[in-house]
């Protein structure tokens, strides 16, 4: 697969470039809690700023009360001079875009404020494309979405991918033909997206470890009581047949459980009604340490415990075990990134992906995404 790269364009000077970034970062009370994605987005922005172009930044935000990108604009404005457009469809917004000068950068407010974005409305895509000569997708982590700024714009403009996008595809493609022994660790609670990945990687990896809430329906299917632990909604309709008698599938062997006596380590068959599994237990971490020790390649996505509620110990320990091993390691996903941030440890892993759902879909779909297909099929280059 030869991606169309922005570096291949020779006549960029003076062009209007619509740059799709993923600036969707956790924001609390207007304060950015994790700037990993923002830092990773700067390479393409800087590349374009050196090419004497007009850059129109487009992104979504699902965080904070107002879902506004303004806190991100404030953050980026500290190092990059730019202007903010609250509504590009208003007469002021339209005028600002028309009046852009070479070397100018503008950022449009949360693109999901317009219905046309998530509905992938061709007319909406055209209303944006009319302001640009070139489209650059550097939002790999949104490229599993069939939204107007991901799959609609490549139909209308000469389209390329940015530097972060290229790096993500290059690094994550290694998972498709991995060195062995290969250990895949999946945690968290996104049952619908993660179960197909587990199923697929039982064919590719040597060991697939299911941690966090993902283990609960598997234990439940073995007849164990799960108390009030997180379980998939009844409409998810999981088919767990593939988890039976599979020697490559590794489950936790104990859990840290909230009981009336406080937090207690228990075997999965000892959980009582009303109790809640909140983290991995010590025996599970020992089992993971042994698997990590014999592995040459490790992919990890998702926490081992209820990370958002503060049950972080198991996940932090897993991160340390991977950091200390000699194996190549690729990690990604929201809570996994929070761990990297907490430990200030990005350089201890071979690659830290900005993708969450996109990373999983890329791996489940054998190395492609709707946003990649749209770039490859763009008729305008």
Binding site for ligand 3PG (CB under 6 A): 22, 24, 62, 141-142, 145, 356-357
Do residues 371 and 168 lie in contact, with contact meaning Cβ atoms separated by under 8 Å?
A: no
User: DSSP strand E in the chain: where?
Assistant: 16-20, 27-28, 31-32, 54-58, 83-85, 105-108, 134-137, 159-161, 182-186, 207-210, 249-250, 255-259, 262-266, 276-280, 297-301, 328-332, 351-352
Least Å distance, CB 359 to ligand 3PG, is 9
Q: CB nearest ligand 3PG: which residue?
A: 24
Contacts of 236 (CB under 8 A, 6+ apart): 191, 192
Least Å distance, CB 96 to ligand 3PG, is 25
3-state DSSP assignment of residue 82: coil
Least Å distance, CB 225 to ligand 3PG, is 33
In this structure, is the dihedral angle defined by the CA atoms of residues 107, 111, 113 and 116, taken in order, positive or negative? Answer: positive
Of the two residues 295 and 354, which places its CB atom closer to ligand 3PG in the complex?
Answer: 354
Least Å distance, CB 145 to ligand 3PG, is 5
Of the two residues 189 and 288, which places its CB atom closer to ligand 3PG in the complex?
Answer: 189
Do residues 84 and 109 lie in contact, with contact meaning Cβ atoms separated by under 8 Å?
A: yes
Least Å distance, CB 245 to ligand 3PG, is 34
Of the two residues 61 and 329, which places its CB atom closer to ligand 3PG in the complex?
Answer: 61
Of the two residues 59 and 229, which places its CB atom closer to ligand 3PG in the complex?
Answer: 59
Of the two residues 22 and 335, which places its CB atom closer to ligand 3PG in the complex?
Answer: 22
Question: Which H helix or E strand runs over 221?
Answer: helix 215-221
């Amino acid at each position: 697969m030869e991606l169309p790269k922005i570096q291949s364009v020779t006549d960029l000077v003076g062009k209007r470039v619509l740059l799709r970034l993923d600036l969707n970062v956790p924001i609390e009370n207007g304060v950015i809690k994790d700037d990993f994605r923002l830092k990773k987005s700067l390479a393409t922005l800087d590349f374009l700023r050196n090419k004497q172009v007009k850059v129109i930044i487009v992104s979504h935000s699902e965080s904070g009360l107002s879902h506004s990108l303004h806190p991100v604009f404030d953050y980026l404005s500290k190092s990059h001079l730019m202007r903010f457009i609250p509504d590009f469809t208003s007469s002021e917004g339209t005028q600002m875009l028309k009046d852009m000068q070479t070397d100018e950068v503008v950022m449009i407010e949360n693109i999901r404020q317009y219905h046309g974005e998530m509905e992938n409305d061709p007319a909406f895509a055209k209303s944006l494309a009319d302001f640009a000569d070139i489209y650059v997708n550097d939002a790999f982590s949104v490229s599993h979405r069939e939204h107007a700024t991901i799959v609609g714009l490549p139909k209308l403009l000469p389209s390329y991918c940015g530097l972060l996008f290229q790096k993500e595809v290059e690094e994550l493609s290694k998972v498709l033909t991995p060195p062995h022994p290969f250990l895949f660790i999946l945690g968290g609670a996104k049952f619908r997206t993660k179960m197909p990945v587990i199923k697929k990687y039982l064919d590719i990896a040597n060991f697939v470890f299911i941690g966090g809430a993902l283990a609960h329906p598997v234990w439940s299917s073995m007849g164990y009581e799960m108390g009030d632990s997180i379980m998939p909604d009844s409409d998810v309709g999981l088919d767990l047949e593939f988890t039976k008698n599979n020697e490559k599938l590794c489950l936790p062997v104990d859990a840290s459980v909230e009981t009336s006596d406080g937090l207690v380590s228990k075997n999965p068959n000892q959980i009582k009604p009303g109790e809640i599994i909140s983290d991995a237990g010590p025996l599970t971490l020992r089992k993971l340490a042994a698997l990590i020790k014999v592995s040459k390649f490790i992919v990890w996505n998702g926490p081992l415990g209820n990370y958002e509620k503060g049950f972080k110990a198991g996940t932090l320990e897993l991160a340390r075990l991977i950091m200390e091993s000699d194996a190549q390691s690729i990690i990604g996903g929201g809570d996994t990134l929070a761990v990297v941030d907490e430990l200030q440890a990005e350089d201890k892993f071979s690659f830290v992906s900005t993708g969450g759902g996109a990373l999983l879909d890329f791996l489940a779909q054998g190395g492609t995404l709707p946003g990649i297909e749209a770039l490859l099929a763009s008729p305008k280059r």
